[in-house]
Amino acid sequence: MMAVAHAPVGVATTVGTISSSVRRRSGFGQFAVRCEMERVVAETATRTTGGNMEPGRWKEIQSQHHSSVNVGDAAIPRTKRAADEDAEVLIECRNVYKSFGEKHILQGASFKIRHGEAVGIIGPSGTGKSTILRIIAGLLAPDKGEVYIRGRKRVGLASMDEDSFGLRIGLVFQSAALFDSLTVRENVGFMLYEHSKLSNERIAELVRESLAAVGLKGVEERLPSELSGGMKKRVALARAIISDGKPGCTEEELVMYDEPTAGLDPIASTVVEDLIRSVHINGNDAQGKPGTISSYVVVTHQHSTIRRAVDRILFLHEGKVVWEGPTAEFDTSTNPIVRQFADGSLLGPIRY
Ligand SMILES: Nc1ncnc2c1ncn2[C@@H]1O[C@H](COP(=O)(O)OP(=O)(O)OP(=O)(O)O)[C@@H](O)[C@H]1O
Protein backbone atom coordinates (compact mmCIF):
# COMPACT_ATOMS: atom_id res chain seq x y z
CA MET A 1 0.00 0.00 0.00
CA MET A 2 1.40 3.40 -0.94
CA ALA A 3 1.13 5.57 2.02
CA VAL A 4 1.83 8.31 4.37
CA ALA A 5 4.95 10.17 4.99
CA HIS A 6 3.27 12.96 6.89
CA ALA A 7 5.44 15.89 6.06
CA PRO A 8 3.84 19.23 6.49
CA VAL A 9 5.84 22.30 5.77
CA GLY A 10 8.12 23.77 8.31
CA VAL A 11 7.44 21.17 10.95
CA ALA A 12 10.14 18.90 9.68
CA THR A 13 12.66 21.56 10.57
CA THR A 14 11.91 21.06 14.23
CA VAL A 15 11.06 17.37 14.44
CA GLY A 16 14.00 15.19 13.69
CA THR A 17 14.39 11.47 13.57
CA ILE A 18 16.38 11.48 10.34
CA SER A 19 19.90 10.26 10.68
CA SER A 20 22.17 13.16 11.44
CA SER A 21 24.28 12.39 8.40
CA VAL A 22 21.31 12.58 6.04
CA ARG A 23 20.01 15.68 7.74
CA ARG A 24 23.38 17.44 7.64
CA ARG A 25 23.84 16.74 3.97
CA SER A 26 20.31 17.83 3.03
CA GLY A 27 21.30 21.38 3.99
CA PHE A 28 19.02 23.07 6.45
CA GLY A 29 19.39 26.47 4.76
CA GLN A 30 17.35 25.21 1.87
CA PHE A 31 15.22 22.89 3.90
CA ALA A 32 12.43 25.24 4.91
CA VAL A 33 11.65 25.73 1.25
CA ARG A 34 12.44 22.30 -0.05
CA CYS A 35 10.59 20.28 2.54
CA GLU A 36 7.49 21.49 0.71
CA MET A 37 8.32 18.85 -1.81
CA GLU A 38 6.64 15.91 -0.21
CA ARG A 39 3.19 15.02 0.75
CA VAL A 40 1.15 17.29 2.93
CA VAL A 41 -1.72 16.24 5.07
CA ALA A 42 -4.80 18.34 4.90
CA GLU A 43 -6.83 19.77 7.75
CA THR A 44 -10.46 20.69 7.51
CA ALA A 45 -13.83 21.44 9.08
CA THR A 46 -17.39 21.76 7.71
CA ARG A 47 -19.02 19.27 5.36
CA THR A 48 -20.52 21.07 2.45
CA THR A 49 -22.64 20.59 -0.57
CA GLY A 50 -23.27 22.45 -3.78
CA GLY A 51 -21.10 23.56 -6.68
CA ASN A 52 -19.57 26.62 -8.16
CA MET A 53 -19.85 25.74 -11.76
CA GLU A 54 -22.67 26.87 -13.97
CA PRO A 55 -25.51 24.50 -13.12
CA GLY A 56 -26.00 23.42 -16.74
CA ARG A 57 -22.35 22.56 -17.29
CA TRP A 58 -22.10 20.82 -13.98
CA LYS A 59 -25.05 18.59 -14.78
CA GLU A 60 -23.59 17.80 -18.16
CA ILE A 61 -20.28 16.64 -16.67
CA GLN A 62 -22.03 14.66 -13.97
CA SER A 63 -24.24 12.91 -16.47
CA GLN A 64 -21.23 12.04 -18.65
CA HIS A 65 -19.44 10.63 -15.64
CA HIS A 66 -22.33 8.73 -14.14
CA SER A 67 -23.75 7.40 -17.36
CA SER A 68 -20.62 5.33 -17.70
CA VAL A 69 -20.46 4.05 -14.14
CA ASN A 70 -23.99 4.06 -12.77
CA VAL A 71 -26.34 1.85 -14.67
CA GLY A 72 -29.94 2.60 -13.74
CA ASP A 73 -28.93 5.85 -12.08
CA ALA A 74 -32.30 7.44 -12.84
CA ALA A 75 -33.96 5.07 -10.42
CA ILE A 76 -31.90 6.40 -7.49
CA PRO A 77 -33.62 9.25 -5.63
CA ARG A 78 -32.10 12.67 -6.34
CA THR A 79 -31.07 13.30 -2.73
CA LYS A 80 -29.13 10.03 -2.58
CA ARG A 81 -27.44 10.80 -5.91
CA ALA A 82 -26.40 14.25 -4.66
CA ALA A 83 -24.98 12.72 -1.48
CA ASP A 84 -23.05 10.13 -3.50
CA GLU A 85 -21.66 12.79 -5.80
CA ASP A 86 -20.50 14.85 -2.84
CA ALA A 87 -18.90 11.80 -1.29
CA GLU A 88 -16.74 11.46 -4.40
CA VAL A 89 -15.33 14.98 -4.11
CA LEU A 90 -11.82 14.90 -2.68
CA ILE A 91 -10.94 18.55 -3.20
CA GLU A 92 -13.09 21.57 -3.78
CA CYS A 93 -11.74 25.06 -4.33
CA ARG A 94 -14.50 27.56 -3.90
CA ASN A 95 -14.06 31.11 -5.13
CA VAL A 96 -10.35 31.22 -4.28
CA TYR A 97 -8.44 34.51 -4.48
CA LYS A 98 -4.69 35.02 -4.11
CA SER A 99 -2.55 38.10 -4.71
CA PHE A 100 1.17 38.66 -4.38
CA GLY A 101 1.54 42.38 -3.70
CA GLU A 102 -0.10 44.17 -6.60
CA LYS A 103 -0.30 40.98 -8.67
CA HIS A 104 -3.81 39.59 -8.46
CA ILE A 105 -3.23 36.01 -9.50
CA LEU A 106 -6.26 33.95 -8.51
CA GLN A 107 -9.55 35.78 -8.78
CA GLY A 108 -12.37 33.46 -7.90
CA ALA A 109 -11.09 30.04 -8.97
CA SER A 110 -13.64 27.29 -8.33
CA PHE A 111 -13.49 23.61 -9.20
CA LYS A 112 -13.72 20.09 -7.78
CA ILE A 113 -11.48 17.04 -8.02
CA ARG A 114 -13.24 13.73 -7.56
CA HIS A 115 -12.17 10.24 -6.55
CA GLY A 116 -10.66 8.38 -9.49
CA GLU A 117 -10.06 11.44 -11.64
CA ALA A 118 -7.01 12.34 -13.71
CA VAL A 119 -7.25 16.09 -14.09
CA GLY A 120 -5.05 18.51 -16.02
CA ILE A 121 -4.76 22.18 -15.12
CA ILE A 122 -3.61 24.22 -18.08
CA GLY A 123 -3.51 27.87 -19.03
CA PRO A 124 -1.15 30.69 -19.97
CA SER A 125 2.11 31.20 -18.09
CA GLY A 126 1.77 33.09 -14.85
CA THR A 127 -1.94 32.48 -14.56
CA GLY A 128 -1.60 30.79 -11.17
CA LYS A 129 -1.49 27.05 -11.89
CA SER A 130 1.37 26.29 -9.50
CA THR A 131 -0.16 28.68 -6.98
CA ILE A 132 -3.39 26.69 -6.97
CA LEU A 133 -1.45 23.45 -6.36
CA ARG A 134 0.28 25.03 -3.39
CA ILE A 135 -3.03 26.22 -2.03
CA ILE A 136 -4.56 22.74 -2.38
CA ALA A 137 -1.52 21.25 -0.66
CA GLY A 138 -1.91 23.70 2.21
CA LEU A 139 1.47 25.29 1.62
CA LEU A 140 -0.12 28.64 0.84
CA ALA A 141 -3.33 30.13 2.23
CA PRO A 142 -5.88 31.80 -0.04
CA ASP A 143 -6.62 35.48 0.63
CA LYS A 144 -10.29 34.76 0.15
CA GLY A 145 -12.39 31.71 -0.64
CA GLU A 146 -12.21 28.20 0.71
CA VAL A 147 -10.54 24.89 0.11
CA TYR A 148 -12.50 21.82 1.17
CA ILE A 149 -10.83 18.47 1.63
CA ARG A 150 -13.43 15.74 1.42
CA GLY A 151 -16.09 18.30 2.20
CA ARG A 152 -14.34 19.75 5.21
CA LYS A 153 -12.90 23.21 5.14
CA ARG A 154 -9.17 23.63 5.63
CA VAL A 155 -8.35 26.31 8.14
CA GLY A 156 -4.90 27.88 7.72
CA LEU A 157 -1.98 25.93 6.34
CA ALA A 158 -1.29 22.22 6.54
CA SER A 159 0.51 21.37 9.74
CA MET A 160 2.04 18.38 11.45
CA ASP A 161 -0.65 18.24 14.11
CA GLU A 162 -3.64 18.06 11.91
CA ASP A 163 -5.82 15.09 11.12
CA SER A 164 -5.52 14.02 7.51
CA PHE A 165 -9.24 13.19 7.34
CA GLY A 166 -8.46 10.18 5.27
CA LEU A 167 -6.77 11.96 2.38
CA ARG A 168 -3.08 12.37 1.86
CA ILE A 169 -1.94 14.99 -0.60
CA GLY A 170 1.38 14.72 -2.38
CA LEU A 171 3.03 17.36 -4.51
CA VAL A 172 5.75 16.60 -7.04
CA PHE A 173 7.57 19.78 -7.94
CA GLN A 174 8.53 20.81 -11.43
CA SER A 175 12.26 20.71 -10.76
CA ALA A 176 11.98 17.29 -9.08
CA ALA A 177 13.40 19.13 -6.02
CA LEU A 178 15.89 16.43 -5.11
CA PHE A 179 18.53 17.17 -2.51
CA ASP A 180 21.73 17.31 -4.54
CA SER A 181 23.86 16.17 -1.63
CA LEU A 182 21.76 13.09 -0.80
CA THR A 183 21.71 9.78 -2.60
CA VAL A 184 18.63 8.53 -4.41
CA ARG A 185 17.88 6.25 -1.44
CA GLU A 186 18.10 9.13 0.99
CA ASN A 187 15.98 11.34 -1.24
CA VAL A 188 13.25 8.76 -1.80
CA GLY A 189 13.22 7.70 1.85
CA PHE A 190 13.62 11.22 3.15
CA MET A 191 10.28 11.59 4.87
CA LEU A 192 10.52 8.13 6.41
CA TYR A 193 13.97 8.91 7.80
CA GLU A 194 12.52 12.16 9.08
CA HIS A 195 9.11 11.14 10.38
CA SER A 196 9.00 7.42 11.04
CA LYS A 197 10.58 5.08 13.51
CA LEU A 198 11.35 2.49 10.87
CA SER A 199 14.80 0.95 10.81
CA ASN A 200 17.24 2.02 8.12
CA GLU A 201 17.03 -1.47 6.64
CA ARG A 202 13.24 -1.29 6.38
CA ILE A 203 13.39 2.16 4.81
CA ALA A 204 15.94 0.93 2.27
CA GLU A 205 13.56 -1.92 1.41
CA LEU A 206 10.61 0.47 0.97
CA VAL A 207 12.79 2.74 -1.17
CA ARG A 208 13.68 -0.21 -3.39
CA GLU A 209 9.99 -1.10 -3.79
CA SER A 210 9.04 2.44 -4.64
CA LEU A 211 11.83 2.78 -7.19
CA ALA A 212 10.81 -0.55 -8.72
CA ALA A 213 7.24 0.76 -9.08
CA VAL A 214 8.57 3.50 -11.35
CA GLY A 215 10.89 1.15 -13.22
CA LEU A 216 14.20 2.09 -11.58
CA LYS A 217 16.63 -0.46 -10.19
CA GLY A 218 20.16 -0.25 -8.85
CA VAL A 219 20.30 3.53 -8.62
CA GLU A 220 19.86 3.82 -4.85
CA GLU A 221 23.39 4.96 -4.10
CA ARG A 222 23.69 7.41 -6.96
CA LEU A 223 23.58 11.17 -6.48
CA PRO A 224 21.00 13.23 -8.42
CA SER A 225 23.82 14.71 -10.53
CA GLU A 226 24.45 11.19 -11.87
CA LEU A 227 20.90 10.86 -13.21
CA SER A 228 19.28 12.03 -16.44
CA GLY A 229 16.39 14.53 -16.30
CA GLY A 230 13.85 11.75 -16.87
CA MET A 231 15.34 9.61 -14.13
CA LYS A 232 15.21 12.52 -11.69
CA LYS A 233 11.51 12.92 -12.39
CA ARG A 234 10.99 9.23 -11.77
CA VAL A 235 12.89 9.46 -8.49
CA ALA A 236 10.64 12.37 -7.49
CA LEU A 237 7.62 10.23 -8.38
CA ALA A 238 9.01 7.34 -6.32
CA ARG A 239 9.39 9.71 -3.39
CA ALA A 240 5.78 10.86 -3.77
CA ILE A 241 4.38 7.34 -3.68
CA ILE A 242 6.66 5.65 -1.15
CA SER A 243 4.88 3.41 1.30
CA ASP A 244 5.28 3.81 5.04
CA GLY A 245 5.14 0.04 5.23
CA LYS A 246 2.05 -0.04 7.42
CA PRO A 247 -0.34 -2.79 6.40
CA GLY A 248 -4.01 -2.01 5.97
CA CYS A 249 -3.62 1.70 5.40
CA THR A 250 -6.94 2.91 4.03
CA GLU A 251 -6.22 6.57 3.46
CA GLU A 252 -6.74 7.74 -0.06
CA GLU A 253 -4.01 9.67 -1.79
CA LEU A 254 -4.13 12.55 -4.22
CA VAL A 255 -0.90 13.40 -6.02
CA MET A 256 -0.32 16.68 -7.81
CA TYR A 257 2.40 16.95 -10.45
CA ASP A 258 3.71 20.37 -11.42
CA GLU A 259 4.96 20.20 -15.02
CA PRO A 260 6.19 16.60 -14.72
CA THR A 261 7.47 16.46 -18.29
CA ALA A 262 8.96 19.94 -18.65
CA GLY A 263 12.39 19.76 -20.25
CA LEU A 264 12.14 16.10 -21.27
CA ASP A 265 12.49 14.76 -24.80
CA PRO A 266 9.31 13.28 -26.31
CA ILE A 267 10.16 9.68 -25.44
CA ALA A 268 11.18 10.46 -21.86
CA SER A 269 7.93 12.46 -21.59
CA THR A 270 5.92 9.45 -22.70
CA VAL A 271 7.65 7.30 -20.07
CA VAL A 272 6.74 9.76 -17.32
CA GLU A 273 3.17 10.22 -18.61
CA ASP A 274 2.66 6.45 -18.58
CA LEU A 275 4.17 6.15 -15.11
CA ILE A 276 1.75 8.75 -13.80
CA ARG A 277 -1.08 6.65 -15.23
CA SER A 278 0.46 3.43 -13.92
CA VAL A 279 0.47 4.41 -10.24
CA HIS A 280 -3.17 5.52 -10.43
CA ILE A 281 -5.87 3.12 -9.22
CA ASN A 282 -6.87 2.46 -12.81
CA GLY A 283 -3.33 1.40 -13.73
CA ASN A 284 -0.64 -1.15 -12.95
CA ASP A 285 2.79 -0.03 -11.86
CA ALA A 286 6.11 -1.02 -13.42
CA GLN A 287 6.01 -4.29 -11.46
CA GLY A 288 2.48 -5.05 -12.60
CA LYS A 289 0.94 -4.26 -9.21
CA PRO A 290 -2.28 -2.21 -9.12
CA GLY A 291 -1.67 1.51 -8.62
CA THR A 292 -2.86 3.09 -5.38
CA ILE A 293 -3.15 6.80 -6.15
CA SER A 294 -6.86 7.68 -6.03
CA SER A 295 -6.72 10.82 -8.12
CA TYR A 296 -4.12 13.07 -9.57
CA VAL A 297 -3.75 16.56 -10.91
CA VAL A 298 -1.18 17.51 -13.54
CA VAL A 299 -0.16 21.06 -14.34
CA THR A 300 1.36 21.06 -17.79
CA HIS A 301 2.00 23.01 -20.96
CA GLN A 302 2.81 19.95 -23.01
CA HIS A 303 0.23 18.77 -25.49
CA SER A 304 1.45 15.18 -25.26
CA THR A 305 0.99 15.19 -21.49
CA ILE A 306 -2.49 16.71 -21.75
CA ARG A 307 -3.52 14.00 -24.21
CA ARG A 308 -1.80 11.04 -22.64
CA ALA A 309 -1.95 11.64 -18.91
CA VAL A 310 -5.28 13.32 -18.13
CA ASP A 311 -8.97 12.72 -18.75
CA ARG A 312 -10.42 16.06 -17.76
CA ILE A 313 -9.06 19.56 -18.20
CA LEU A 314 -9.47 22.73 -16.18
CA PHE A 315 -8.43 25.80 -18.12
CA LEU A 316 -7.26 28.62 -15.91
CA HIS A 317 -7.16 32.15 -17.29
CA GLU A 318 -6.99 35.47 -15.45
CA GLY A 319 -7.37 33.74 -12.13
CA LYS A 320 -10.50 31.72 -12.90
CA VAL A 321 -11.47 28.41 -14.44
CA VAL A 322 -12.85 29.61 -17.77
CA TRP A 323 -13.40 26.20 -19.37
CA GLU A 324 -13.50 22.62 -18.24
CA GLY A 325 -14.31 19.40 -19.95
CA PRO A 326 -13.06 16.01 -21.08
CA THR A 327 -9.67 16.00 -22.79
CA ALA A 328 -11.29 14.83 -26.02
CA GLU A 329 -13.38 18.00 -26.14
CA PHE A 330 -10.36 20.27 -25.84
CA ASP A 331 -9.54 20.02 -29.53
CA THR A 332 -13.07 20.64 -30.69
CA SER A 333 -14.06 23.35 -28.22
CA THR A 334 -15.14 26.58 -29.87
CA ASN A 335 -14.34 28.61 -26.76
CA PRO A 336 -12.08 31.37 -28.18
CA ILE A 337 -9.68 31.22 -25.22
CA VAL A 338 -9.26 27.46 -25.59
CA ARG A 339 -8.93 27.71 -29.37
CA GLN A 340 -6.22 30.35 -29.18
CA PHE A 341 -4.28 28.36 -26.59
CA ALA A 342 -4.63 25.04 -28.41
CA ASP A 343 -3.55 26.63 -31.71
CA GLY A 344 -0.76 28.69 -30.13
CA SER A 345 -2.12 31.71 -31.94
CA LEU A 346 -1.12 35.30 -31.21
CA LEU A 347 -4.61 36.41 -32.11
CA GLY A 348 -7.40 36.07 -29.57
CA PRO A 349 -8.48 37.02 -26.09
CA ILE A 350 -5.23 35.94 -24.39
CA ARG A 351 -2.80 38.85 -24.37
CA TYR A 352 0.93 38.60 -23.67
N1 LIG B 1 5.59 33.52 -3.43
C2 LIG B 1 5.40 34.39 -4.42
N3 LIG B 1 5.69 35.69 -4.28
C4 LIG B 1 5.49 36.59 -5.25
N5 LIG B 1 4.98 36.29 -6.45
C6 LIG B 1 4.66 35.00 -6.67
C7 LIG B 1 4.85 33.99 -5.67
N8 LIG B 1 4.42 32.81 -6.17
C9 LIG B 1 4.00 33.06 -7.43
N10 LIG B 1 4.14 34.37 -7.72
C11 LIG B 1 3.76 35.02 -8.97
O12 LIG B 1 2.43 34.63 -9.25
C13 LIG B 1 2.26 34.45 -10.65
C14 LIG B 1 1.69 33.09 -10.91
O15 LIG B 1 2.69 32.13 -10.64
P16 LIG B 1 2.45 30.58 -10.89
O17 LIG B 1 3.78 29.93 -10.76
O18 LIG B 1 1.35 30.10 -10.05
O19 LIG B 1 1.98 30.60 -12.41
P20 LIG B 1 1.85 29.40 -13.43
O21 LIG B 1 0.53 29.55 -14.09
O22 LIG B 1 2.14 28.12 -12.77
O23 LIG B 1 2.99 29.80 -14.45
P24 LIG B 1 3.89 28.91 -15.45
O25 LIG B 1 2.95 28.28 -16.40
O26 LIG B 1 4.77 29.94 -16.12
O27 LIG B 1 4.67 27.94 -14.60
C28 LIG B 1 3.62 34.71 -11.29
O29 LIG B 1 3.63 36.05 -11.75
C30 LIG B 1 4.58 34.52 -10.16
O31 LIG B 1 5.72 35.31 -10.32
H or E segment to which residue 297 belongs: strand 295-299
The answer to whether 3 and 206 have CB atoms below 8 angstroms apart is no
Burial of 233 (0-12, 13-18, 19+ CB in 10 A): buried
What is the CB < 6 Å shell around ligand 1? Answer: 100, 103, 105, 125-131
What letter represents residue 8's amino acid? Answer: P
Ligand 1: centre distance to CA 105 (Å): 8
Ligand 1: centre distance to CA 177 (Å): 17
For the domain spanning 84-167+251-351, the CATH number is: 3.40.50.300
Classify the complex by whether its ipTM is higher than 0.90, answering yes or no: yes
**Which ligand 1 atom sits nearest the alpha carbon of residue 174?**
27
Give, for all 352 residues of the chain, the pLDDT tens digit: 333 333 332 222 222 234 445 544 444 322 222 233 333 322 222 222 223 323 333 233 333 332 222 223 333 444 555 555 666 899 999 999 999 999 999 999 999 999 999 999 999 999 999 999 999 988 899 999 999 998 888 887 776 555 566 788 888 887 667 888 899 999 999 888 887 888 999 999 999 988 988 888 899 999 999 998 888 888 988 888 887 766 555 567 899 999 988 888 888 888 889 989 988 888 887 778 888 888 999 999 888 899 899 999 999 999 999 999 999 998 888 899 888 888 888 888 888 7
